[in-house]
């Protein structure tokens, strides 16, 4: 008989569970509520999603879009970037460089204060002005090998920086090496950087989040937990209120910020949603106000519908972005050690058709590596590789065939080419389209495509990996860390770069970019970068740039005054929301 009672108990439990599961569909009263999660008070709120959990909110440690976006909302650095990706004053009001180009001096404003939001009471505490010492502390922390910042190498042009970052923390002279890093506070509002070689683009480096000042007492007191709500001390327009790891984030306006009177949006909040199509559904249900960083762009499969839809097409905003998508040739691997073969394959891609039929984001066909928006880009200079982006694609194709025939492979006879990309639906589509274009252009050639998982892929491509395992052609993109051609040409294709997967080696190119690196005259630097591009893309054709990226975004009509920064981290404090329109739409 005992078993009967167990059975009854089980059935009862099951019934409870069942009613729990099915009770919800029976509740009809919840329509409006479902679309609009409860809001706290009347605060002007920007509802968004976050595409992933930020790996770190620590300015020294962030390296991905999500982290950098957050750091830029919460912190102010010496310099910043405007809409055209030019360096503009931020925390620093002015800066100057010594005659020899080795010493940079920044004067800082004195009215930006550190604030901390009390997690229990919600009160903001003023912790005094941001000083030059806070910048020195932050730079030292980024370079500290114990902190292991992934972006530390960006600061290696500072005197003593590379040595300190590569030092063994157990070494006896470790503290001396820390002190030898060439950044000093001359007084509370003056900070001086000593460099080991002249670096014309240094003001862009001080706009990188890894140099943003940090409040030492908070870091020392809470160690790795200092970026949690209630611990974090910030100096920017917003600060962190809630961080439910993996689930939800909420930033609130810093009322003590020096320019707080001009900040309209008081709250930025949203769940972490890793599916872009789910985010799109939320956007269409008016649950979120935008499809943009830190969330998702509209999904590719929805683009045709968005463009055809009267309302959605009005909400679509396409803006330039400092990234380039390219196919690299492994220059050392036959037959791609022949420039004519590389040129032929680079020319036999109909970039405009790729954009119109596949990518659909109004990307721009590329004929140079450095994308528009970067200092020293040659995207507007049609002297560089015009044969990649001809109006008349048939003529371009003829040229490609002629080159391949000249190289000894008429119609691609005898060619067996492997194109590799990292596993992803979007890259697969591009690869298949390009494969078809090549097969059509060179009917005798065999073009195969292969994909590898990301980490494996990058290891295959590393310059010192075995040549026989490498493909002939690989896919990659590059996005600016800071908007200057130095980050592109030196960072990727200088002969000694770790990222030089093309194994491109030209002493002439190296000399040009080195010279550009060492001077600060903008006109001369631009000229040198153009010459370098000429070699890389046109003369040698180490790579085939395909297109310059764009930001594709959707903003609800009540989002006004949108300012987009081509570098990560839009200035949301400059945006405004028509709250009445938003409330009406959410009814």
Partner 1 sequence: MLTVFSMMRALPGGPFDFEGDKSLAKAVTDNLERRHHLDWSESWQFVSYVLGDDVAGAVCETIPSIPGCDKVLDGYKAGVSRGVIRGDLGMAMRQRGRTINGIIGESFPVSLQLGLMAIGFGLLTGIPLGTIAALKQNTTIDYAASFFAVLGLSVPSLVLGPVLIWIFALKLGWFPVSTWGAQPPFFLGFIPAPTKDFFMHAALPVTALGLALTASIARLTRASLLQVIGEDYIRTARAKGLPQSTLIVRHALRNSLIPVVTILGPLTASVVTGSFVTEFVFGIPGMGKHFITSINNRDYSMISGVTLVYALLLVIANMIVDIMYAWLDPRIKFE
Restricting to residues 50-89, name those near partner 1 by CB under 8 A: 53, 55-56, 58, 61, 63-64
Of the pair 274, 450, the CB lying nearest partner 1 is at 274
Of the pair 14, 426, the CB lying nearest partner 1 is at 14
* Binding residue for partner 1, selected from 476, 489, 490, 512, defined by CB under 8 A: 476
Cα(485)–Cα(481) distance, rounded to whole angstroms? Answer: 10
| Phi-psi domain of 410 (left: phi exceeds 0; alpha: psi -120 through 50; beta: other) | beta
Restricting to residues 417-456, name those near partner 1 by CB under 8 A: 453-456
Min dist CB 460 to partner 1, Å, is 8
Of the pair 84, 285, the CB lying nearest partner 1 is at 285
The pairs formed by 393-398 with CB atoms below 8 angstroms and a separation of 24 or more are 393/350, 393/352, 393/353, 396/347, 396/348, 396/350, 397/347, 397/348, 397/441
Of the pair 176, 274, the CB lying nearest partner 1 is at 274
Considering only the stretches 26-34, 104-112, 196-204, 348-356, report the one whose residues sit in contact with partner 1 under the rule CB under 8 A: 26-34
DSSP-derived 3-state class of residue 172: coil
Restricting to residues 28-57, name those near partner 1 by CB under 8 A: 28, 30-31, 34-35, 37, 49, 53, 55-56
Q: Report the 10 Å Cβ neighbour count for 299.
A: 16
Cα(104)–Cα(81) distance, rounded to whole angstroms? Answer: 18
**Separation of CA 247 from chain center:** 22
Sign of CA dihedral 477, 479, 484, 486: negative
- How many chain residues interact with partner 1 (CB under 8 A)? 75
For the window 135-154, what string marks contact with partner 1 as x by the rule CB under 8 A? ----------xxxxxxxxx-
**Separation of CA 78 from chain center:** 20
Q: Does 18 bind partner 1 (CB under 8 A)?
A: yes
Min dist CB 285 to partner 1, Å, is 5
Min dist CB 281 to partner 1, Å, is 5
Q: Does 273 bind partner 1 (CB under 8 A)?
A: yes
DSSP E strands in 366-454: the ranges are: 416-422, 446-452
Q: Report the 10 Å Cβ neighbour count for 5.
A: 9
Restricting to residues 554-583, name those near partner 1 by CB under 8 A: none
For the window 316-355, what string marks contact with partner 1 as x by the rule CB under 8 A? ----------------------------------------
Burial environment of residue 162 by CB neighbours within 10 A (0 to 12, 13 to 18, 19 or more): middle
Residues pairing with 551 in the sheet? 319
Considering only the stretches 40-48, 101-109, 270-278, 530-538, report the one whose residues sit in contact with partner 1 under the rule CB under 8 A: 270-278
Restricting to residues 168-187, name those near partner 1 by CB under 8 A: 169-170
Min dist CB 293 to partner 1, Å, is 15
User: What's phi and psi for 140, nearest 5 deg?
Assistant: -60, -40
Min dist CB 287 to partner 1, Å, is 6
Q: Does 552 bind partner 1 (CB under 8 A)?
A: no
Cα(337)–Cα(278) distance, rounded to whole angstroms? Answer: 46
Cα(62)–Cα(334) distance, rounded to whole angstroms? Answer: 40
Of the pair 281, 446, the CB lying nearest partner 1 is at 281
* Binding residue for partner 1, selected from 459, 495, 518, 561, defined by CB under 8 A: 459
Q: Does 27 bind partner 1 (CB under 8 A)?
A: yes
* Binding residue for partner 1, selected from 59, 182, 271, 320, defined by CB under 8 A: 271
Q: Does 221 bind partner 1 (CB under 8 A)?
A: no
* Binding residue for partner 1, selected from 1, 5, 25, 128, defined by CB under 8 A: 25
Considering only the stretches 217-225, 392-400, 405-413, 514-522, report the one whose residues sit in contact with partner 1 under the rule CB under 8 A: 217-225
* Binding residue for partner 1, selected from 159, 287, 302, 484, defined by CB under 8 A: 287
Joined together, the tokens standing for residue 94 give 């002015």
* Binding residue for partner 1, selected from 12, 43, 84, 166, defined by CB under 8 A: 166
Cα(496)–Cα(510) distance, rounded to whole angstroms? Answer: 9
Contacts of residue 73, defined as CB under 8 A and 6 or more positions apart, other chains included, come to: 236, 237, 238, 251, 268, 569, 572, 573
Of the pair 144, 350, the CB lying nearest partner 1 is at 144
- The residue among 457, 387, 400 whose CA lies nearest residue 428 is 457
Of the pair 30, 310, the CB lying nearest partner 1 is at 30
Contacts of residue 587, defined as CB under 8 A and 6 or more positions apart, other chains included, come to: 32
Of the pair 28, 507, the CB lying nearest partner 1 is at 28
Of the pair 302, 350, the CB lying nearest partner 1 is at 302
Cα(328)–Cα(346) distance, rounded to whole angstroms? Answer: 9
DSSP-derived 3-state class of residue 196: coil
Restricting to residues 236-265, name those near partner 1 by CB under 8 A: 244-248
């Amino acid at each position: 008989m005992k078993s009967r009672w167990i059975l009854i108990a089980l059935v009862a439990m099951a019934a409870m569970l069942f009613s729990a599961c099915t009770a919800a569909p029976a509740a009809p009263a919840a329509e409006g509520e479902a679309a609009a999660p409860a809001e706290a008070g009347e605060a002007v709120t920007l509802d968004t999603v976050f595409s992933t959990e930020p790996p770190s909110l620590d300015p020294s440690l962030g390296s991905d879009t999500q982290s950098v976006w957050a750091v830029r909302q919460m912190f102010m650095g010496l310099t910043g970037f405007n809409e055209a990706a030019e360096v503009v004053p931020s925390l620093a009001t002015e800066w100057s460089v010594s005659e020899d180009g080795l010493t940079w001096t920044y004067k800082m404003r004195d009215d930006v204060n550190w604030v901390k939001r009390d997690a229990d009471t919600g009160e903001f505490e003023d912790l005094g002005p941001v000083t030059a010492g806070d910048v020195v502390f932050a730079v030292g922390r980024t370079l500290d090998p114990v902190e292991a910042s992934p972006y530390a190498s960006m600061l290696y042009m500072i005197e003593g920086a590379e040595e300190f970052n590569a030092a063994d923390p157990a070494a006896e002279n470790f503290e001396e090496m820390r002190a030898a890093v060439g950044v000093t506070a001359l007084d509370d509002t003056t900070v001086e950087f000593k460099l080991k070689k002249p670096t014309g683009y240094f003001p862009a480096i001080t706009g990188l989040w890894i140099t943003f000042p940090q409040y030492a007492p908070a870091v020392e007191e809470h160690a790795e937990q200092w970026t949690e709500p209630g611990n974090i001390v910030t100096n920017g327009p917003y600060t962190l209120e809630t961080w439910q790891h993996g689930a939800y984030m909420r930033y609130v306006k810093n009322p003590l910020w020096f320019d707080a009177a001009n900040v309209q949006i008081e709250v930025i909040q949203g769940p972490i949603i890793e599916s872009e199509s789910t985010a799109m559904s939320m956007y269409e249900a008016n649950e979120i106000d935008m499809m943009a960083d830190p969330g998702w762009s509209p999904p590719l499969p929805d683009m045709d519908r968005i463009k055809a839809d009267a309302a959605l097409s009005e909400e679509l905003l396409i803006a330039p972005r400092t990234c380039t998508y390219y196919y690299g040739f492994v220059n050392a691997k036959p037959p791609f050690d022949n420039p004519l073969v590389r040129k032929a394959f680079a020319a036999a891609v109909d970039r405009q058709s790729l954009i119109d039929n596949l990518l659909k984001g109004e990307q721009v066909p590329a004929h140079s590596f450095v994308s528009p928006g970067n200092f020293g880009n040659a995207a507007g200079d049609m002297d560089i590789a015009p044969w990649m982006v001809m109006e008349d694609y048939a003529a371009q194709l003829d040229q490609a065939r002629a080159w391949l025939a000249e190289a000894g492979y008429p119609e691609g006879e005898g060619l067996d080419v492997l194109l590799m990309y990292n596993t992803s639906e979007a890259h697969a589509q591009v690869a298949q389209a390009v494969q078809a274009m090549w097969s059509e252009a060179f009917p005798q050639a065999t073009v195969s495509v292969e994909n590898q998982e990301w980490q494996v892929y990058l290891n295959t491509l590393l310059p010192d990996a075995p040549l026989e395992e490498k493909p002939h052609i690989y896919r990659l993109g590059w996005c600016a860390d800071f908007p200057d051609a130095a980050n592109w040409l030196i960072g990727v294709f200088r002969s000694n770069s770790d990222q030089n997967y093309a194994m491109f080696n030209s002493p002439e190119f190296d000399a040009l970019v080195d010279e550009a690196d060492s001077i600060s005259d903008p006109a001369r630097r631009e000229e040198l970068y153009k010459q370098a591009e000429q070699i890389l893309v046109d003369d040698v054709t180490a790579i085939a740039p395909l297109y310059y990226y764009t930001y594709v975004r959707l903003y609800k009509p009540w989002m006004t005054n949108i300012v987009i920064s081509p570098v990560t981290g839009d200035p949301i404090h400059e945006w405004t929301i028509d709250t009445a329109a938003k409330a009406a739409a959410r009814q």
